[in-house]
């Protein structure tokens, strides 16, 4: 028998653009957010117009860390192409105070902190996101900071334009304060778009930051000051399948292996979450 969904209230909504928002949902009964692991998703449910009592569900990664017990934070794109998305069209019509259903967090896109032999995995975490694929990494980074982790992190985020580089101020600040322990590389693929006006950072798709060019180091390696290998780096990739396939095709020749195709001993150096 499936567990009944709980009710939640939309308590905060910040629109970054007309189709990209950060929202917060609080359990309606006032209870704290249940325990979860950074990288997990929550399933939201809504009764859509014309569909009676049927609840339509969709998965959304949590961008808040598990230490935040007051609300779930989510980073959501309104799907509009080629046709308006069923769920996000209803979600973007909601205002603060409106209610929706949620089911407790689940999912395996979590931080690997042990190697297959059980020893601590201390390799640098390289987090690669396209669009709202950033959400789980916001949770990772805030959690690792909250627990005082010494693991070095590099976060690479690609979006179409500068306005879609969500959580930019937060990550800029963490990079500035991190003394080299947190490297942040945002990039926009449409630098000439009016919404990119004033952007002086990297341009191109996020995977281009990993391509070794003439000097035979990538933008990422230049920022890190060392070459990436499966011995020193562990990748997490989140977003649309095109980005994931491109990143894997760049990393495979360097000896990296993904969790979709582990080595005989069960080890891998790339973990993937696809949004569709």
Closest CA to 25 of 68, 82, 85: 68
Query: Binding ligand FAD by CB under 6 A: which of 9, 86, 104, 145?
Result: 86
- Span of 5-13, 70-78, 165-173, 209-217 interacting with ligand FAD by CB under 6 A: 70-78
Asked if 130 contacts 257 with a C-beta cutoff of 8 angstroms, the reply is no
Asked if 41 contacts 133 with a C-beta cutoff of 8 angstroms, the reply is no
Smallest separation, CB 85 to ligand FAD (Å)? 2
Asked if 156 contacts 206 with a C-beta cutoff of 8 angstroms, the reply is yes
Q: Which of residues 88-147 bind ligand FAD (CB under 6 A)?
A: 88, 107, 132, 135
Report d(CA 204, CA 184) in Å as an integer: 15
CB < 8 Å & 24+ apart, contacts of 25-29 = 25/71, 25/72, 25/74, 25/100, 25/102, 26/70, 26/71, 26/72, 27/102, 28/99
Q: Are strands 99-106 and 72-77 parallel, antiparallel or unpaired?
A: unpaired
Smallest separation, CB 179 to ligand FAD (Å)? 30
* Binding of residue 169 to ligand FAD (CB under 6 A): no
Binding mask 35-54 for ligand FAD (x = CB under 6 A): ------x-------------
Q: Which residues contact 263 (CB under 8 A, 6 or more apart)?
A: 257
* Binding of residue 246 to ligand FAD (CB under 6 A): no
- Span of 27-35, 86-94, 147-155, 254-262 interacting with ligand FAD by CB under 6 A: 86-94
Smallest separation, CB 211 to ligand FAD (Å)? 26
Binding mask 203-242 for ligand FAD (x = CB under 6 A): ----------------------------------------
Report d(CA 115, CA 113) in Å as an integer: 7
Which residue, 56 or 203, is less far from ligand FAD as judged by CB?
Answer: 56
Report d(CA 177, CA 155) in Å as an integer: 15
Which residue, 267 or 274, is less far from ligand FAD as judged by CB?
Answer: 274
Asked if 92 contacts 78 with a C-beta cutoff of 8 angstroms, the reply is yes
Q: Which residues contact 16 (CB under 8 A, 6 or more apart)?
A: 22, 163, 164, 166
Smallest separation, CB 249 to ligand FAD (Å)? 22
Which residue, 105 or 186, is less far from ligand FAD as judged by CB?
Answer: 105
Which residue, 23 or 162, is less far from ligand FAD as judged by CB?
Answer: 23
Smallest separation, CB 86 to ligand FAD (Å)? 4
Binding site for ligand FAD (CB under 6 A): 41, 58-61, 74-77, 79, 81-83, 85-88, 107, 132, 135, 273, 275-276
């Amino acid at each position: 028998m499936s567990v009944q969904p709980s009710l939640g209230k939309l308590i905060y909504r910040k629109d970054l653009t007309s189709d990209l928002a950060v929202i917060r949902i609080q359990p309606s009964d006032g209870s704290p957010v249940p325990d979860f692991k950074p990288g997990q998703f929550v399933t939201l449910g809504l009764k859509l117009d014309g569909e009676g009592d049927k609840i339509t569900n969709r998965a959304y990664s949590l961008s808040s860390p598990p230490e935040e017990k007051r609300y779930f934070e989510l980073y959501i794109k309104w799907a509009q192409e080629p046709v308006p998305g069923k769920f996000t069209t209803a979600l973007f019509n909601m205002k603060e105070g409106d209610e929706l259903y949620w089911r407790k967090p689940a999912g395996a896109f979590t931080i690997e902190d042990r190697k297959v032999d059980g020893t601590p995995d201390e390799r640098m975490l390289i987090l690669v996101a396209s669009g709202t694929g950033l959400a789980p990494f916001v949770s990772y980074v805030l959690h690792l900071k909250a627990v005082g982790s010494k693991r070095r992190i590099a976060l690479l985020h690609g979006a179409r334009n500068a306005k879609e580089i969500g959580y930019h101020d937060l990550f800029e600040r963490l990079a500035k304060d991190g003394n080299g322990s947190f490297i942040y590389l945002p990039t926009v693929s449409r630098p000439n778009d009016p919404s990119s006006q004033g952007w002086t950072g990297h341009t191109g798709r996020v995977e281009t930051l990993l391509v070794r060019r003439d000097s035979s180091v990538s933008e990422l390696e230049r920022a890190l000051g060392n070459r990436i290998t499966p011995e020193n780096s562990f990748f997490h990739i989140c977003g649309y399948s095109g980005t994931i396939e491109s990143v894997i095709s760049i990393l495979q020749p360097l000896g990296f292996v993904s969790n979709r195709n582990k080595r005989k001993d069960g080890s891998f150096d790339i973990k993937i979450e696809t949004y569709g």
